[in-house]
Amino acid sequence: MVYIRQDKLPKLKEYKYSAVDHSLLSRYVLKPFYTHVVINCFPMWMAPNLITLSGFGFVVLNFLTMLWYSPTLDQDCPRWVYASWAIGLFLYQTFDAVDGSQARRTRQSGPLGELFDHGVDAVNTTLEVLLFSATMNFGQGWKTVLTLFASLLTFYVQTWDEYHTHTLTLGIISGPVEGIVTLCIVYALTAYLGGGSFWQQSLFQSLGLKQYNFIPTTLFNLAWNEWYMVYGSVVLVFNTISSARNVMQARHARGQKSRGALLGLLTFAAAWVLIPAYLYLQPIILHHHLVPFIFYAGLVNAYSVGRMIISHLTKSRFPRGNVLIYPLIYGVFDSLGPWLQEHIGLGWPSALGSDVYQVAFVFMCLGLSVGVHGSFIVDVIWTICDYLDIWCLTIKYPYQPGRDKEEKKAE
């Protein structure tokens, strides 16, 4: 499958990075740290994409330790594991932020960098959902699924916003800045407190507060991890509304209707009608094999986001639909028959059942998503590198400070 048509390739040379960052933490703390300290640690020969990939390696190591110590997402890990997650995520954020500075310093800025950066971020989002769920001892259940939904929606809407406004907008509170810093703090606190079981305690009781008459019992008994989900929900709603407002204002300024842009959210909505439906109909997957399914759901979103970025870079029409949800449609249909038979007396038998074949189906979906998304990544990187005459992880034409002046004199 061709993901970038030949007639769209010239648009890559028109690419110009545009971003607005309203974060005070980023402006006054992180960016000075990146600009004056971190960037000097990387040599001029190191490609920006290699920095991005190296930072992602820390998260992969974090994920591997999670699989070893808490594969079911509900077991306390040794203190050093949580500490390593905090350090790994902070290094990932640092490397991910510095790659842009390295690109400008080495004169390697271009569309491939944005695609590579967003592509890695899309996969990291899913991995961090699993790490955070393991930290909170959510286990394999609906709390982990809700965390995945919030994280993927944030990333999808942010990319959708950038496609229509042509500018990456980070609000006062955003996932790439405050969200990651918050996770680093949570991981570090978990290491200090001795394990994820602490977050299952009531916040009010652990702080020694009394239950006054005006405090409902349900609210008083809310655990730390449930309060974090409330906080995440508020931030999610705020960021989603902000992005929708940005898109509508940008389209109105260009004399376009906002209705067409809002339809772009249906791709995400369709996937998230099917995902909870399938997990509800197959509790064996929800409670015993959720980790591979979350990988599959995360790659579904990463594939949609990747195609959006390509459409943004080549100024193509917004990508509709997602081929990776087709297996999920079959899974829901196959599982719905027995449920209907049990509840209304009419239905159809399941071809997969609710045991080993259902688990095999999930791993098949995961394998298919890895193959499709992997082929997408390889194809677009190969196409962009070939057209722009660059390399992905190394610098093909190193920047020479005096070269520009010599060329101007020769002209």
Q: Which two tokens stand for residue 6?
A: 């030949």
Please answer whether residues 156 and 301 qualify as being in contact, where contact means their C-beta atoms are separated by less than 8 angstroms.
yes
DSSP state of 110: S
CA distance 191 to 194: 5
CA distance 398 to 381: 20
- Reply yes or no on whether 118 is catalytic: yes
CA distance 26 to 270: 34
Q: Which of 153, 291, 137 is nearest to 225 (CA)?
A: 137
In degrees rounded to 5, what are phi and psi of residue 165?
-95, -15
- The residue written with tokens 């034409």 in the block is 397
Please answer whether residues 327 and 299 qualify as being in contact, where contact means their C-beta atoms are separated by less than 8 angstroms.
no
Please answer whether residues 278 and 327 qualify as being in contact, where contact means their C-beta atoms are separated by less than 8 angstroms.
no
Which position among 118, 164, 312, 373 bears the catalytic label? 118
- The residue written with tokens 């050093």 in the block is 80
Sign of CA dihedral 383, 385, 388, 389: negative
Q: Which two tokens stand for residue 133?
A: 């769920």
If you write DSSP's letter for every residue of 201-236 in order, what string do you get? Answer: SBHHHHTT----TTS-HHHHT-BHHHHHHHHHHHHH
Q: Which two tokens stand for residue 331?
A: 């899974």
Distance of CA 302 to the CA centre of its chain: 7
Residues recognised as catalytic: 118
